[in-house]
Structure 1
């Protein structure tokens, strides 16, 4: 009963002489250590907030300015042009402040003002430099003298060793494109999808919108761009994510897989322990702002705003809209196993639990043979169904008593961990192994993930793991950054013993994980079953195929002197045409994080140029030289569109915000209504790879990530996520719906493979002729 003794802080007995207290030294020691840790955190955060607050200057530069100003006083030179004397005259005269003290204090105040002015000047200069994007439009590997000079200035003003949030105040605002440019690019993007008559109709509707009401809507949008930090992101989060009343499972949440080939240990508790400990290390650095900011070319900073809500965050359901609840430094996580919920403390004596201690705690949960309480098994299905029933059930059944306490434990946890009973992962001898792995991460059993948490860590019985991520708080590159840190730390820093256990001694005196208690009435259980039935219907309809393409990769594509992303996107267009016999509206996600609080923009990958290339590939009368020429034009067009999207000149976010303004003003726009209702029958996204470069995949080629994916966006379309890994591997994650007779994920995967090989053949044949 060591745990019971640890849980008692003090004992007391009543004697004739009064109350006799018996304090526990061990508990008092832990209280003291917790206090020290807490104050240490506050000091570090305060210091880092100051460092980020004065960046690109440093606190030591203030002292230099003060000394410089003070030294001029002894040379009888007044650099303040009389301002020091003016400040001196305004200071109160007293017995404690001599004339000399007044002079020194006046000089310090003036120097501080100069220092702050220099910081503002440096920031606005850096912001002006970062507003220039000409460098991104230059051919890869080439840079003009102007851009080299610009890059040198950015480096000079960027300071040394920036923290995660150092550049936030220097990032430019996302610009509002002109209505004319947006409509022109929109019409160009839909031309390959419409016949002549349909295009003329669309052109007429678009031109009418351009005349009225577009100018009025644009004025409101420009005003918002002046007032708000970002004119898109808050509306995007609210209207695209939080106001959706349908299930977020499959429809919104996405997943990330583990390393493709490597399983460092097959012990479930040990793998979970190392991963959780690595996440805690990452969170500590994140909360202190100590991660280095991501920078394009190693120089141009990306916005770090989305990182703030990675941990301690939950999407809370509402009747009309959800909201994102973010808390500070939660000290526990909630673990789900075989229908039971457990609360596990992550700290002991003011420090994180060591991996060996976490393994001990997780093994206790795995060894627990108790049965779920009534209604507990499928409770999490509430987060997988429609949002309104979940919101009403939350208000009615989880507002008091044990249900409130247990729900609070889940919603305030650092994150959610599922110790899954199944075994998953890539197996070379089982072709559909990745398909089942993907579906498990995406939806599981529909009741064994808490889909409202910022992310769920899922660890399988065989030691494989992955993430399921709620989408409203951030986009894939953010969680990918953390996941790279976790997998690298797990394998190359923490490691395992020869038996597969976590390294380190085990403290068996830890209090055991606490079972969360529930009192779920029959009426609530009916709602749970209803949500589960809907979620299971959605999950069963997901047709998933994950395929490994290892014929070639980034290495060969770069030798062809083209963009790897453009190569894959054109292959997807060719595969789509072969699969369905027609072109479709295609979505590719790009990022706008070069602007403050930027999130994503859409690249419309189906263009006139890509359509011409695809038709040439299917035309037996076309020569390979013609096809290759059309491919290069289409690839260049795609790259240019991607660059425009990254630099704030995309189409869809602007049209989306114009639509929101029109709805707020009760203005009916047939053009905007039609644009926003068009289905994305091919939705694509590239998973970022090697953001941190913590794993040398040249040295350790088997330690490559498998990427991640998402559910189908359109009922009769495909969702395709891909990750270009290293030099010779590309992994595709393809989703569609079984209920659609037009789609088949495996068939589409085969079409992608053949399209990739056919495009490569163009270059090989061209090389032979040369």
Structure 2
């Protein structure tokens, strides 16, 4: 066994002549290279810490300031207004320095102090500038003179060549909205959903809360906002994600798809080789902080804190609450194939494996015909079922011995890889069934062939298609979307494949093969595995999923209407839902609010409004042929503008739901009940939606490569009798939709709702006197 031999650094034998010591030079060489790799990473982290710590200045600017001060001092000019002279007097009493040495040290100390003061002033000025949110409310393409001046000042104080975490200390705290403002917006959001008597009852509850209990709870939130950068994030992570005791599969985890139409190679091992290498290239950029922070309008920085736990991270089950385990580094990945688990080292000879070498390792796993160990095949079903049984099993059976070693190999891996034995992806001869099957496979698979606790679950199918299943507690979709865009573009446009479909490069015969993880799973543990699998299987079988591309038009034509593409789609969803169910419902739209503060997560926009309901009802009214559409257009504009206004409020920290959620948490800590908050937090979201924004469009150059369009990603239904809808606008002429619901509900049908979405989009376009033909001619 080559890998066992190389793992031993030396051997010795006791003989009558003494100890016979035999060193393994290859093992010592690998130890040396591994240590060298670790020290390089430590040095890079140390260097980055310095660069980020002094940003927007640089270490070289310190030298310039100190030299400038010393030059002035040498020229008998005192830039310190007497501070250097006083420092000289203090140093003079030491009696161990000459006058010149005293002068140099005093000048250096003053220069350093001046440099640090300038950094603090620049950071504080930038923080104050970023606390202004008026730019969000400016009409698109019509920035006022004051906003333009503000943006120039932001650029001035932002420095140049920022690293990923350069702006973290300059981001403002998340502001706490006034209770009366939040309640006012809440009542406006529920007004179209309830009758007049019910609204009056809620109005009375809200008024009582805002006068009596609300101010007391608000005081505690204000106190927290002064102490913490973000008064929402830690409670949101703990109570919304980690304290949930039900399955995270379907209910919390989400997925990301591959290209819609393209498969660069049909060799499973080759696709895995390129993609795994690309993921590690991204991780290296992340470790070195070489990823540019996301910038709105190429000016306003967004929070980057969620990147910190992207890799080497796993959700650990607990009895009352889960925890997130993150390690600083991991040099291996965990791979699952046909019921077996493997550990694959990603570094050899002190370097990252090349794509062809990774393909070689993956092919060795695919060629391995050994059978799974007893009860090994369905082990990951524990991560798919309820959390409490998994926590108890983990403590009882995986706390020592080979089980602990193997579990550590999975949980401490950089990420988890599933080599799926099915073929998935878009098929032209059967587009509907093929995409639906692809989505369900990524969302839940067989319920035991994905490790749902890992931050990143990378899936490669038998025909070369790929995707990801992602744990949600540690970060939101835009963070993983940034990684996934980089991986897809790097895989195809930079790494590429040879003519026979293999990764470019040569194999390496010196690579030790992947190692099988060893388990010792007792019968009583197997019974709990089967129980978890039964729960997960029932949940997966109940998911009614429909993924489809809408290519009649896209954001290119929508922009000609001088309308936000997101507002256009959201109004279409309201129209589609009313046609589907004959009623309006509380609608959840998630937005990424990290432009308003540090450590941001998501906020909610309640897109079912009085204005959107008025538009939907009017557009469904019968209208004589030839009658002008001016009133409908006016209602559409009002609804679209109101949606954008709510979107901006949420991004600026003035949303409704996170504020009410935190007030509710405070009430629980204080042991007081609020009928108002209890009722608000129990309202079901019958329509939960999310847009997946494209962030790095330049990587794909869709004008030159129109076939390389992304499918986006999706999630499971939030309510038992509701819909989950994810959509992504790709390029100028495509919108991909992912609709989920439950078969067990008689109110929902994902395919029916998908047809209603398509029709609603076309109906609104016709209302605006535009046609898909105009799109083609333009």
Partners of 2:536 and 2:16 in 1: CA distance: 65
Aligned to 1:618: 620
Q: Distance in 1 between matches of 2:697 and 2:769?
A: 34
The question of 1:534 aligning with 2:535 is answered: yes
SS of the residue aligned with 1:684? strand
What is the Cα deviation at residue 88 of structure 1? 3.1
1:600 equivalent in structure 2 = 602
* 1:453-477 deviations in Å (ceiling 9; x for gaps): 0010000000000000000000000
Correspondence list, 1:244-263, <5 A: 244-263=244-263
Counterpart selection for 1:755 from 747, 755, 760: 760
Q: Is the 8 A contact 2:552 2:772 kept in 1?
A: no
**What is aligned with 1:562?**
563
Match of 2:741 in 1: 736
SS at structure 2 position matched to 1:601: strand
Q: What pairs with 1:513-532 in structure 2 (closer than 5 Å)?
A: 513-532=514-533
Match of 1:66 in 2: 66
Distance (Å, rounded) in 2 between the aligned partners of 1:180 and 1:91? 60
Match of 2:640 in 1: 635
SS in structure 2 opposite 1:590? strand
Structure 1 residues 307 and 692: CA distance shift in structure 2, 3 A: farther
Q: How many angstroms apart in 2 are the aligned matches of 1:258 and 1:585?
A: 32
Q: CA deviation at 1:95?
A: 7.1
CA gap 1:41/1:602 in 2 versus in 1, 3 angstroms = same
Secondary structure at the counterpart of residue 81 of structure 2: coil
Deviations 1:527-556 (A, max 9, x none): 000000000000000000001100000100
In 2, Cα distance between equivalents of 1:125 and 1:315: 38
Q: Is the 8 A contact 1:334 1:415 kept in 2?
A: yes
Task: Tell me, yes or no, if the aligned pair for 2:172 and 2:229 is still in contact at 8 Å.
Answer: no
Instruction: For residue 432 of structure 1, give the secondary structure of its aligned residue in structure 2.
Output: helix
* Whole-Å separation in 2 of the counterparts to 1:49 and 1:15: 53
The aligned counterpart of 1:418 is 418
CA deviation profile, 1:162-215 (whole Å, cap 9, x unmatched): 000000011111100000100000000001101111111111111111111000
CA contact (8 A) 1:625 1:766 kept: no
Query: Would you say 1:666 and 2:671 are equivalent positions?
Result: yes
Counterpart mapping for 1:570-585 below 5 A: 570-585=571-586
| 3-state SS of 1:41 partner | helix
Give secondary structure in 2 for the equivalent of 1:163: coil
Query: 1:396 — aligned with what?
Result: 396
Aligned residues: 769
1:77 aligns with 2:82: no
Verify the 8 A CA contact 1:191 1:608 in the aligned structure 2.
Answer: yes
Cα distance in structure 2, aligned partners of 1:692 and 1:48: 28
Counterpart check, 1:709 vs 2:733? no
Q: Which residue of 2 aligns with 1:487?
A: 488
- Write the deviation string for residues 683-711 of structure 1: whole angstroms up to 9, x where unpaired: 00001113363111111111111000000
TM-score by length of 1: 0.98
Q: Secondary structure at the match of 1:428?
A: coil
The alignment partner of 1:764 has SS state of coil
Most deviating of 296-305 and 97-106: 97-106
Q: CA 1:621/1:40 → structure 2, altered by over 3 Å: closer, same or farther?
A: same
2:444 corresponds to 1:439: no
Q: Residue 3 of structure 1 contacts residue 509 of structure 1 at CA under 8 Å; is this kept in 2?
A: no
Q: Corresponding residue for 2:118?
A: 118
- 2:104 aligned residue: 104
Which residue does the alignment assign to 1:652? Answer: 657
What are the within-5 Å matches in structure 2 for residues 466-485 of structure 1? 466-485=467-486
Contact kept? 1:382, 1:532, Cα under 8 Å? yes
Shift of 1:765: 6.5
Closer/same/farther in 2, CA of residues 332 and 692 from structure 1, 3 Å limit: farther
Q: Distance in 2 between matches of 1:255 and 1:10?
A: 46
Q: After superposition, what is the alpha-carbon deviation per residue over 1:606-644, rounded to whole angstroms, capped at 9, x for unaligned?
A: 000000000011111485222111111100000010011
Aligned to 2:729: 724
CA contact (8 A) 1:254 1:468 kept: yes
* Conserved? CA contact 2:91–2:97, under 8 Å: no
| 2:266 and 2:465 in contact (8 A); partners too | yes
Q: Secondary structure at the match of 1:446?
A: coil
For the residues of structure 1 that align with 2:92 and 2:457, how far apart are their CA atoms? 60
Distance 2:231 2:547 in 1: 36
SS at match of 1:500: coil
| Offset at residue 16 of structure 1 (A) | 4.9
Contact kept, 8 Å, 2:12 with 2:19, in 1: the verdict is yes
User: For the residues of structure 2 that align with 1:738 and 1:415, how far apart are their CA atoms?
Assistant: 32
Q: Is the 8 A contact 1:485 1:692 kept in 2?
A: no
1:215-614 mapped onto 2 (5 Å cutoff): 215-430=215-430, 431-594=432-595, 595-614=597-616
Per the alignment, in what secondary structure is the counterpart of residue 736 of structure 1? strand
RMSD over aligned Cα atoms: 1.7
Once the 2 structures are TM-superposed, how far is the Cα of residue 51 of structure 1 from its aligned partner? 1.0
What is the SS of the residue equivalent to 2:590? strand
The 8 Å contact of residues 339 and 377 in structure 1, kept in 2 or not, is answered as: yes
Q: Which runs of 5 or more residues in structure 1 are unaligned?
A: none
Aligned-partner Cα distance in 2 for 1:571–1:181? 28
Counterpart secondary structure, 1:650: coil
The answer to whether the 8 A contact 2:311-2:455 is kept is yes
2:208 maps to 208
Shift of 1:55: 0.6
Structure 2 unaligned runs (5+)? 774-778
Q: Deviations over 1:336-375 (max 9, x none)?
A: 0000100111110111111111111111111111111111
Distance 2:772 2:381 in 1: 56
Q: 2:402, 2:771 → 1: CA distance?
A: 71
Contact 1:135 1:147 in 2 (8 A): yes
Q: Provide the C-alpha distance between the structure 1 equivalents of 2:94 and 2:12, rounded to a whole number of angstroms.
A: 57
Pairing partner for 2:684 from 676, 679, 692: 679
Verify the 8 A CA contact 1:13 1:19 in the aligned structure 2: yes
Deviates more, 1:755-764 or 1:96-105: 96-105
Deviations along 1:422-447, whole A, 9 cap, x unmatched? 11001121121110000000000000
Aligned partner of residue 261 in structure 1, secondary structure? coil
Distance 1:314 1:477 in 2: 19
Contact 1:481 1:692 in 2 (8 A): no
